[in-house]
Amino acid sequence: MSLRNIAIIAHVDHGKTTLVDELLKQSGVYRENERVAERALDSGDIEKERGITILAKATSVTWGDTRINIVDTPGHADFGGEVERILNMVDGAVLLVDAAEGPMPQTKFVVGKALKVGLRPIVAVNKIDRPDARADEVVNEVFDLFAALDADEDQLDFPILYGSGRDGWMAPEPDRPDEASLAPLFDLVLDHVPAPAVADGPFRMIGTILEADPFLGRIITGRIHSGTVRPNQTVKVMDRDGKTLETGRVSKILAFRGLERQPIEEGAAGDIVAIAGLSKGTVADTFCDPQVDEPLAAQPIDPPTVTMSFIVNDSPLAGTEGDKVTSRVIRDRLMKEAEGNVALKIEDSDQKDAFHVSGRGELQLAVLIETMRREGFELAVSRPRVVMQKDEDGTLLEPIEEVVIDVDEEHSGAVVQKMSERKGEMAELKPSGGDRVRLVFHAPTRGLIGYQSELLTDTRGTAIMNRLFHGYAPYKGPIAGRTNGVLIANEPGEAVAYALFNLEDRGPMVIDPGAKVYQGMIIGIHSRDNDLEVNVLKGKKLTNVRAAGKDDAVKLTPPVRMTLERALSWIQDDELVEVTPKSIRLRKLHLDPHERKRFEKARASA
C-alpha cells in the first residue's frame, strides 16, 4: 500500500478540525450507524469548550489503495511550537483559508514555516457558502502572501480547491457541484503530494509528539526517517547535540488507523508511528539503532516571549479547595509539561517556592494553569511579563507583535488611539468588506497584555483581534498601565451583602456576598487611582425600631466576573491571582498592610 503524509494548517477557527471530521467520514472510517462526536480530534475538555486545537493530533484514512496520514495542527500562535515540529514529519500540507476573512496572521506564520521546510501546499478556500465570501480576492491575497514569504516557482504554482468543510465538499470551481464530496481533495493529495522520501541506513526517527499513557508509559510519535523498527528492538536515544540519553527496548509500536491506534509488528521508513518503552526520550530527540552516531537535524523553536511566576499558594485559604499544594508536586507537574511542550521553559526562581514559566503568549500559559487547576492544583500566579533581550551593543530589545484588528469603521478611531497609547505603530489600513476595516499594527507585547477586554468594550464587542510574534526591536519606553486602584479586605471572614451594598459607591465588586475573604484579598475595583482598605464584614446594626420599607433586602449590582485570562491581564506587578480547583481570587502580593507600605516605599526609592 502506498503512503502519503499531510498536515492540515490554517489560522484559528478556519475549519481544520471540522474538515478532518468529514475526511474521516467519507473515507469509510466510521460504520454507517456509528455515532460520531463533532470535532472528533479535539480530545481535551478545554479544546472542546473553547473550540480550539491545542495539541496536534495524528489520524489516517484509506483512499483507494493509498493510506493518508493526516495531522491536525493548532491554529493559535501561542501553540505554534506544535506546528513547527509537525511540518518536519509530513511531505505536503493543505492550507485552509476562510473565504471571507482571507489570510490572517497565523496563516502567515504556518505558511512561512511550511515553505521554509520545502513543502508545496494545496490551497483550499473554505466556508465558500458564507454570504460575505470573496473567493477570487482571497486567492490573490494568498498568492501575494506566498510571494512575500519568498516562495519558489513550484510553491507559487499551487493548486486551488473551493468548498465547505462543514458540508463535506471540495471542487475546482467555487460553485457547488451536483455530486458534492471531498473526492477532489483526496485525488489532489495523491497527485500533488509526493510519497515519503526514504533514506538508506538503520532505524532513525525524530520524536515529534510526546504523551503519557497509564498502561504503556511514555509514548513518542514521529516519522521513521530510515530503516524499520520492531517490538523488543534495542533503540538508542540521542539529544540534538548527539549525547546519548538512554538505550532501551521498544515495548510496543502503534500505527494510526482512523481514530484508533493499533499495535503493528513492524514500522517502516516513511510511516508515522508511535513507540512505547523508552523513559527518557522526548520531543526533538533522535530515536535510532545503537550503531548510529549522528542525530537527525531538528528544527529550532522560536524563543518564548512571555514569562510568569508560579508560586506556592500561601493565602489563609490555602489547601481548603485543592489537594496538590506543595512546591514539589507543582515543580514535578511543570517539568512534565515542559518535556512534551518545547515552547515552554521552566526555571527555578530566586525566591523560595516559586518558578518562572516562559511561553509563547498569555493564552498558552492560561491553558496550562486551567489544566492544572482541573487536576486539583492550588497555586498563585503573577502578572505576565515580557522576556527582554540584549543585542551585541547592550541595547535592550523587547518582543514586537503584528496585530491585525478587524473592526466596524465607526470604532476604528478608538482602536487607533488606544493602540498608539500602547506604543503600537500602524502598518496598514484597508477595507475588509461590509463597512469594516482591517488595521495592522506593530506593537510591543507588554502593551497588548490586558488589551483584549478593553478592545471589546471600546468596539461594543464587534472587533476581532489576531496577534503574531513579529520580532525583537529596541525598547519603546514606559507604557501607562491600569488607571484604577483596588478595594482590599481588611480582615478575614465572609462578605456581607449589606457591607457590599454600602461600598458600591466606591466602585464595582469582584466577589459575591457570602464569599470567603481574608486580609489583603482584592474584593473590588476602586473608582479612583489609589488602593483602599475596606470592611466587607460589617453587618447592619439591629435595633427594636421598625419603619415601613426599612428592612427590604438590599439589591446588589452584579459583580465583575473575572475569568482566568482577564484576571491575569488585569492585575498589577504587586498583585497575584490565586487559582484553586473551585475559585479564582485576586490578592495583593503582601497581605499585611504594613508590609505593603514598606514594599511600596522601597519600590518608590529604587
Return binding residues for GTP.
Answer: 13-18, 126-129
* H/E element, 70: strand 66-72
| Phi, psi at 535, each rounded to 5° | -105, 115
Going by the annotation, the residues of the binding site are: 13-18, 126-129
Q: Indicate if the alpha-carbon torsion angle 33, 39, 44, 45 is positive or negative.
A: negative
Residue 110 region, left (φ>0) first, then alpha (ψ -120 to 50), else beta? alpha
> Which residues does 360 contact at the CB level (< 8 Å), separation at least 6?
77, 78, 79, 80, 81, 302, 304, 305, 306, 343, 469
The 3-class secondary structure across 409-462, one letter per residue, is HHHHHHHHHHHHHCCCEEEEEEECCCCEEEEEEEEEHHHHCCHHHHHHHHCCCC
d(CA 507, CA 510): 10
449: nearest Cα among 423, 475, 472: 423
Q: Taking CA 83 as the corner, what is the angle to CA 37 and CA 246, rounded to the nearest 5 degrees? A: 100
What's the residue count for the chain? 606
6: nearest Cα among 142, 134, 124: 124
Q: Which residues pair with 8 in a beta bridge?
A: 72, 94
Q: 395 is written with which cell numbers?
A: 541595547
Q: Indicate if the alpha-carbon torsion angle 281, 287, 292, 294 is positive or negative.
A: negative
Q: 24 is written with which cell numbers?
A: 474521516
